[in-house]
Structure 1
Amino acid sequence: MAYDALVARLADGLDPVRFGAFPDGSVDDYYRLHGGESTVTSRSSFAAAITAGRDSFTLEHVVTEAGGQAVNAARQAAALGDDILLAGHLDHPIFEFDFETASMGDPARVRVCLFEADDVMFVEESADLADWSVADLRGALDVDAFLERDALCCTNWASVPGLGPSFRDIAARDPDGGVFCLDPGPLSTAQANDLLDALRPLGDAYDVVVSVNDDEAGRLAAAVGHDGRPTESATLDAIRAAANATGVVVHGADAAVASTPDGRVSVPTLDVSRGLTETGAGDRFSAGLARSLAAGWVWDLAVAMGNACAAHYVAGAGTGGVDDLRAHVDTHRP
């Protein structure tokens, strides 16, 4: 069982990898939503209140956090003891970390409405992020060294139009790359087609891994002409081939499923009760997965690590370090 092996591996400690993440960043304000004296606890009750004519709601501020997919991934890898370089949009005092960062401009501002499941986000976009190009990355750091880190997590394709052209530029540099994990964020079907096209050149320089949730997998499945369940083996294999990727991983509610060079991998998720929010759990999954693959782990063990990072966060226990994850997996493994 993958989780038994993961507990043993975590007990031995981890050798650090050189981990990079880019390009986003956001300041995230979390709120509870009230309609009169009632707390709105779901999307359906929110929609019902609007449909019934309610035109005013009250926001109760809960907490403000440093956010963004790249930021979340970097924080997870840092908690595991890796050597981090985060290149994001970090021009705000909240982004104070004990690892190396390089800022490329102003962050987005995100307001998260906390529901019992499926939080809703309202995003004030960053003009700097919307206009981002690989030239901004070159101006912020030694780009050749960054591109040759053991693992790179590239995030938020859906909100960064400049990522497509940047992939062509990165591939043209012919880096001696390691793992390139792409966590695209909430894709449209049109964006999914563009993403698959943009990823193809990177497969010659990196072990490209596409890390998505069920909804994003559905968009990619549609892009390759499959209309069945997006986690079916044939569908994931088709996505992997279209992207020229080493692996495609879907982190779902019940299991994380992957198409890999060694075949299909499926690892059940850890059964935990939700804490404050699930927002950011998928980013931590991607970080755990990417750094573990870069460390040379087999696929089922790396996927189990991703699940462990996500579950620890979903349970409200924060971003887990090595000892935290070992204890958490030992308690919750199937």
Structure 2
Amino acid sequence: MPYDALVDRLADGLDPVAVGAFPDGSVDDYYRLREGDETVTSRASFADAVTAGRDSFTFDHVVTDAGGQAVNAARQAAALGDDVSLAGHLDHPVFEFDFETASMGDPARVRVCLFEADDVMFVEESADLADWAFADLRAAVDIDAFLERDALCCTNWASVPGLGAALREVAAYDPDGGVCCVDPGPLSTAQAGNLLAALEPLGGAYDVVVSVNDDEARALAAAAGREGSATDAEVLDDLRGAADATGVVVHGADAAVASTPTGYVRVPTLDVSRGMTETGAGDRFSAGLARSLAAGWDWDLAVAMGNACAAHYVAGQGTGSVDALRAHVGAHRP
């Protein structure tokens, strides 16, 4: 079981790697939804109330936090002691970190409605993010050093229209890259097809790893014309080929599965009770996966690390450090 090996590896400490993350950022306000004196606890009860004619609800503010997929990934890598550079949309006081940052404009604003299972997000888009292009990244950072970090986390394809052209420019730049982990966010089938086309040229510069949840995997499979479960080995192998990727990883509720150069990998998730929210857990999975692959870990161990980062956050324990993850995995491993 890779979790036993992960506990041992964490006990020995981690050698830091250089991690870059880009290009998004959001200010996330978390709320409980109230109908009169009663808290609305699920999407189903919210839908029932709306269907019944209720047209007024109250937001009870819980907390405001720095968010965005790149931000979440950067925070996870930094918590593990890595050398982190975050290039995002960070023009807000909430983005104060003890690692290197570069802002490319205003963040999005997100209201997260907390339910017992699946949260719902209401997004106020950022015009700066909508207009973002590779030239903005080039102006914000030392582009050679940034693109040649050991691991890059490229996030939120679904909300950043300029990422397709930017990835083609990155490929044309021909960096001597390491791992490039692409976590695209909630894709439509059309977006998934465009993503597969944009990823193909990156394979010459990076070990490209696509990190998605179940819904995103289904969108990619549909775009590739594949039927059947998007977590089946053959389907994942086809997706890996369509993206010219080194690996495709699906982090699901029960297990994370991956198509890799050495075969199919399946690592069960850690069984934990859900804390306040799952929003941001997948981003932490991607960071743990990417930095571990960049450190030269085997695929099953790197996937287990991603699971551990996500589970620690889902359990309400925040972004896990090395010591916190070691204790958490030791307590919850199968």
TM-score normalised per structure 1:
1.00
- Provide the residue aligned with 1:135 in structure 2: 135
- Provide the residue aligned with 1:63 in structure 2: 63
The aligned length equals 334
- Provide the residue aligned with 1:173 in structure 2: 173
Provide the rounded CA distance (Å) in 2 between the counterparts of 1:18 and 1:226: 36
C-alpha deviations, 1:272-323, integer Å up to 9, x for none?
A: 0000000000000000000000000000000000000000000000000000
Provide the rounded CA distance (Å) in 1 between the counterparts of 2:185 and 2:247: 17
CA drift of 1:36 comes to 1.2
- Provide the residue aligned with 2:115 in structure 1: 115
CA drift of 1:225 comes to 1.2
Secondary structure class of the residue paired with 1:229? coil
Provide the rounded CA distance (Å) in 2 between the counterparts of 1:47 and 1:107: 30
- Provide the residue aligned with 1:81 in structure 2: 81
- Provide the residue aligned with 1:284 in structure 2: 284
Provide the rounded CA distance (Å) in 2 between the counterparts of 1:10 and 1:111: 35
1:255 is aligned with what amino acid?
A
C-alpha deviations, 1:145-171, integer Å up to 9, x for none?
A: 100000000000000010000111100
- Provide the residue aligned with 1:153 in structure 2: 153
- Provide the residue aligned with 2:204 in structure 1: 204
CA drift of 1:227 comes to 2.1
Unaligned runs of 5+ in 2: none
- Provide the residue aligned with 2:220 in structure 1: 220
- Provide the residue aligned with 2:312 in structure 1: 312
C-alpha deviations, 1:149-205, integer Å up to 9, x for none?
A: 000000000000100001111001110000000000000000000000000000110
CA drift of 1:224 comes to 1.2
Provide the rounded CA distance (Å) in 1 between the counterparts of 2:333 and 2:145: 38
C-alpha deviations, 1:88-108, integer Å up to 9, x for none?
A: 000000100000000000000
Secondary structure class of the residue paired with 2:47? helix
2:300 is aligned with what amino acid?
D
Provide the rounded CA distance (Å) in 2 between the counterparts of 1:168 and 1:75: 27
For residues 260-271 of structure 1, what are the structure 2 equivalents within 5 Å?
Answer: 260-271=260-271
Provide the rounded CA distance (Å) in 2 between the counterparts of 1:138 and 1:209: 23
2:261 is aligned with what amino acid?
P
C-alpha deviations, 1:101-120, integer Å up to 9, x for none?
A: 00000000000000001100
1:145 is aligned with what amino acid?
A
CA-atom RMSD in angstroms: 0.4
Provide the rounded CA distance (Å) in 2 between the counterparts of 1:144 and 1:201: 18
Provide the rounded CA distance (Å) in 1 between the counterparts of 2:266 and 2:44: 31
Deviates more, 1:218-227 or 1:288-297: 218-227
1:40 is aligned with what amino acid?
V
Provide the rounded CA distance (Å) in 1 between the counterparts of 2:167 and 2:312: 32
For residues 38-53 of structure 1, what are the structure 2 equivalents within 5 Å?
Answer: 38-53=38-53
C-alpha deviations, 1:54-80, integer Å up to 9, x for none?
A: 000000000000000000000000000
- Provide the residue aligned with 1:12 in structure 2: 12
- Provide the residue aligned with 1:296 in structure 2: 296
The percentage of counterpart residues that share the same residue type is 82
Provide the rounded CA distance (Å) in 2 between the counterparts of 1:195 and 1:122: 24
C-alpha deviations, 1:1-56, integer Å up to 9, x for none?
A: 10000000000000000000000000000000011121111111111100000000
TM-score normalised per structure 2:
1.00
1:43 is aligned with what amino acid?
R
